[in-house]
Chains A and B, each alone.
Chain A
Amino acid sequence: MSILVLIRLTLRELSSKVTMYILAGISTLVLLGLALAVSVDSMADGEVLKLFGQQVSPPVPLEELAKAVQQMQAGLAGGLFTGIILFGVFATAGVIPDMLERGTVDLYISKPISRWELLLGKYCGAVAAIGLNIIYFLAGAWLVFGLRCGVWDINLLLSALTMTFMFAALYAMVVFFGTWTRSTAASIILTYLYLFILGGILHNRELTLYLISENAVYRGVIDGFYYLFPQISGMQENGAKQIMQVEMDWKPFLQSFFSGSVFFLAAAVILKRRDF
C-alpha cells in the first residue's frame, strides 16, 4: 500500500513539472504532424505510402502495405525512444535527489516504510509517468496509422511495454546516480555521459578498448563493464524488430534486467547506510 501511495505521489510530483507537459506537448505535435503527413495512395501498380505527399515506398500490393507501414513505425519508435532517453531522463532525474533533500527525507523515513520501499515507490512512479507518455504516443500513432493507412498492427501497441522496460532499465542507473550524488544535475550528466560516450565505446569495445591491450584480464574487465550497464543499443534494435515482426533477441533485455537490478540494489544499499 505504501508503494502505491509513493507511486501516486511521484506521478503528482511529475505532473506538476513543466517538463512533463513539454514531453506530452511534443508527443501531441508529432502525432498531429504524422496524422497530416502520412497517407496511402492507390496507384495502378499497387499501394504507395506517402509522407508529406512524397512517395516513401515502392508500389506494393495491398497485403504487403503493412510491411512498409511497419518500417515507418519502427523508425518512428526509434525516434521516440531517443526522445524519451533525452527528455525522460531530464524530466525524472530529480525525483530521487528531491526526495533526499533535508526536511523532505525526514518526513518519509519517519513513516513506517523501509528505505528500499521508498526507493522502489519513487522508481516505479517515475517509470509509470514515462510509461504513460510512451503509451499515449504509441496509442496515438497506432490510431493514426490505422485510420490513415488501414494498418492496425498490435505490435506497435505492444512495443510500448518494451520501450517502458528499456526506460526502466536505464532509470535504475539514474536512481543509482541520484542516490549516490543527491544531485539532479550530476545524475543527468553521469547518465548522458554513459549514453553518449561510455555506452558507445563499450558497445564498440572490439574496435576501441580491445586495441589497447590483448591481455585477457583487461578484456574481461572491459566486458564486465559492458554487461554491467543496460544494453540500450541492443534493446533499441530489438524494439524495432518487434514492430517489424522479425524474431527478437531477448539477450539484451535479460542483461539490462540484470544491470537494472544491480544498479537498483546498489542504490538501496547506499540509501540504507546513509545518515540524514
Chain B
Amino acid sequence: MHALECEQLTKVYRSGIRNKREIRALQEVSIAVESGQIFSLLGPNGAGKTTFVKILLSLTHPTGGRALVLDRPVTESRVRRRVGYLPENHRFPAYLTGEQVMMSFGSLAGVHRSALSGRIDQLLTLVGMQEWRKVKVRKYSKGMMQRLGLAQALVNDPELVFLDEPTDGVDPVGRKEIRDVLRNLREQGKTIFLNSHLLSEVELVSDRVAILDKGKLLKVGTVEELTTTESSYTIGCQGPLPDALRTEADARVLGVTFSAEGVVAHVADPAALNAVIDLLRKHGVLITSVTPQRSTLEESFINLIKREIPS
C-alpha cells in the first residue's frame, strides 16, 4: 500500500500584475511512497521540496496533477487526522507552555481530551522535554522548539509524518535521539517523509530517497542505488602488481588506476571490466574481490545536481 502517491504534480507561482512572471516550483513530479518507510526528499534551496510537502498537506494548491495521502485526496481535511507535520521554522504561540501547545494542537488534531494527557506525558518524555512542559515556549531554544515540534507532530499517533528539517538547530546528541525516534516509528509501521539538507543524516535513516532540483524529479531510489557509482570498480588483488601490467594497462588505455588496495577500474561497461580482469589474469595476478565503488550520498547528490546545471 502507498502512504502517499502523486502523479504529474505541478505548481506554478505567478507574480506581478502587468508582466506576470511565472515560477515553476514543481514540474510534473510523480512519486509513490510505500507504507512503513522512511522516505527523504533532497534538493538544493528552491528545488521545490517544501512546496511539494505543502501540497500534500493542502497548504498550497497544485496547478496540475493529482495527489493522494493515505489513499484519500489531499483536499479532504479529515485525512489529516492520520497525518502529523513538523513545518520548517514553525512558530508555536509564544504565550503557551509546552504542555499547552501539545494540548491545544492535539485537540485540533482530533485527539480526545481524555486520551491527550497520557499521550503528552509519553511524547514529552520521548523527546526529552518533560521538565520543560510548564515553561512558556518563548523561553525555549531552537533545539527545544524542534523537539517540541516533533512531539506535536506525533500527538495524534499519525500513520504518516512529514518532517521538514527536523534536526535543524538540534545538537549532535539530540540528532541521534531524533534518528532513533524515527527508526522506532518505522518499526511501528509508520511512514516518515523527511525533508532535509543534512545528507549524512538522511543517509543514516532513509529507506528511499528522491532528488529534486528546479522543480524536477531527478532520481528516486534506495540510498544504495543512489550512492553506487555505476562505472567504477575496486578489484582486490593479492601480492605485488608486476610493472609489465602497469605498462600494458597504460598502453591500452583501459582506465585503470593502481592503489594500495588493488586496482580501480573506471569502465564504460561490463565488457571493459572483463578486459581489465583478463589483463590482470594474463599477468598472473590473483584476484580476491570485485566491488562496485560507492560514493557518499552527498557526493552522488552534488554530481547529480552538477550534471543538471547545463540544462
- Residues of A at under 8 Å CB distance from B? 1-2, 5-6, 8-9, 12-13, 16, 101-114, 273, 275-276
B85-93, B120-128, B260-268: which one contacts chain A?
B85-93
Chain B residue contacts of A108, Cβ below 8 A = 108
Q: Are B109 and A106 in contact (CB under 8 A)?
A: no
Q: Which residues of A contact B90 (CB under 8 A)?
A: 103-104, 106-107
Task: Say yes or no: A112 contacts B59, CB within 8 Å.
Answer: no
Give the docked Cα–Cα distance between A112 and B58 (Å).
10
Tell whether, in the assembled complex, residue B108 and residue A276 are in contact, meaning their CB atoms are under 8 Å apart.
Answer: no
Chain B's closest residue to A103 (CB) is B91
CB 8 Å contact bits of B76-92 with A (1 = contact, 0 = none): 01111101010111111
Please state if A9 and B104 are interface contacts (CB–CB under 8 Å). Answer: yes
In contact, B95 and A110 (Cβ under 8 angstroms): no
Query: B141-180 vs A: 1/0 string, CB under 8 Å?
Result: 0000000000010000000001000000000000000000
Identify 6 new A-B residue pairs, CB closer than 8 A, beyond the known A103-B88, A107-B152, A108-B108: A1-B107, A106-B54, A106-B87, A112-B77, A113-B108, A275-B61
Asked if B57 and A13 sit within 8 Å, CB to CB, the answer is no
**Across the interface, do A112 and B89 meet the contact criterion of CB distance under 8 Å?**
no
> Which residue from chain B places its CB closest to the CB of A107 in the assembled complex?
B90
Chain A residues with Cβ below 8 Å from B93 are: 9, 12-13, 104
B17 nearest CB across to chain A (Å): 16
Contact indicator A275/B96 (Cβ below 8 Å): no
Task: Write out the residue numbers on chain A whose beta carbons fall within 8 Å of the beta carbon of B110.
Answer: 2, 111-112
| Interface size grouping (class) on chain B | 20 to 34
CB contact between B77 and one of A6, A13, A105, A114 (< 8 Å): that residue: A114
Q: Are A275 and B59 in contact (CB under 8 A)?
A: yes
B152 contacts which chain A residues (CB < 8 A)? 107
Closest to B60 in A: A275
Query: Are B108 and A2 in touch, CB under 8 angstroms?
Result: yes
Residues on B with beta carbons closer than 8 Å to the beta carbon of A106 = 54, 57, 59, 85, 87, 90
Q: How far is the CB of B239 from chain A (nearest CB, A)?
A: 62
> In the bound complex, how far is the Cα of B222 from the Cα of A60, in angstroms?
93
Question: 5 closest pairs, A vs B, by CB?
Answer: A16-B95, A103-B91, A106-B87, A110-B85, A112-B80
Task: Assess whether B140 is interfacial by the CB under 8 Å rule.
Answer: no
Given contacts A101-B91, A107-B92, A107-B105, contact A113 B77 (CB under 8 A): yes
Please give, as numbers and ranges, the residues of chain A lying within 8 Å of B78 by CB-CB distance: 112
A-B contact pairs, 23 of them (CB 8 A): A8-B104, A12-B93, A13-B95, A102-B89, A102-B91, A103-B89, A104-B91, A104-B93, A106-B54, A106-B59, A106-B87, A107-B105, A110-B83, A110-B85, A111-B109, A112-B78, A112-B108, A112-B109, A112-B110, A275-B13, A275-B54, A276-B59, A276-B60
- Bound together, the chains give a CA A174 to CA B90 distance in angstroms of 26
Task: State how many angstroms separate the Cβ of B168 from the closest Cβ of chain A.
Answer: 12
Residues of A within 8 A of B81 (CB): 112
Q: How far is the CA of A13 from the CA of B92 in the complex (A)?
A: 11
From known contacts A101-B91, A102-B89, A111-B80, infer whether A5 and B57 are also in contact, taking CB-CB under 8 Å: no
Contact (Cβ within 8 A) B96 A111: no
Residues of B within 8 A of A111 (CB): 80, 105, 108-110
Known contacts A9-B93, A13-B95, A275-B59: A107-B107 contact under CB 8 Å: no
**Which residue on chain A has the smallest CB distance to residue B87?**
A106
A107 contact set on B, CB distance < 8 A: 85, 87, 90-92, 105, 152
Is the pair B60, A5 in contact by a Cβ cutoff of 8 Å? no
Chain B hits for A16, CB < 8 A = 94-95
Chain B residues with Cβ below 8 Å from A1 are: 107
Of all chain B residues, which has the CB nearest A2?
A: B108
Are the C-beta atoms of A103 and B87 separated by less than 8 Å? yes
Contact: A110 with B89, CB < 8 Å?
A: no
Q: Are B87 and A110 in contact (CB under 8 A)?
A: yes
The listed residue with most A CB atoms (<10 A of its CB), out of B79, B91, B92, is B91
> What residue in chain B is nearest A4 (Cβ atoms)?
B107
Rounded to whole angstroms, the CA-CA distance of A112 and B93 in the bound complex is 19
**Whole-angstrom CA separation of A16 from B105 in the bound complex:** 18
Give Cα A149–Cα B109 distance, bound, in whole angstroms: 52
Across the interface, do B95 and A12 meet the contact criterion of CB distance under 8 Å?
A: yes
Q: Is the CB of B89 within 8 A of A109?
A: no
User: Do B57 and A110 touch (CB < 8 A)?
Assistant: yes
* B92 lies within 8 A of A109 (CB): no
Question: Given contacts A103-B91, A112-B78, are A5 and B104 in contact (CB under 8 A)?
Answer: yes
Using A9-B93, A103-B91 as known contacts, say yes or no to A109 and B105 having CB atoms under 8 A apart. no
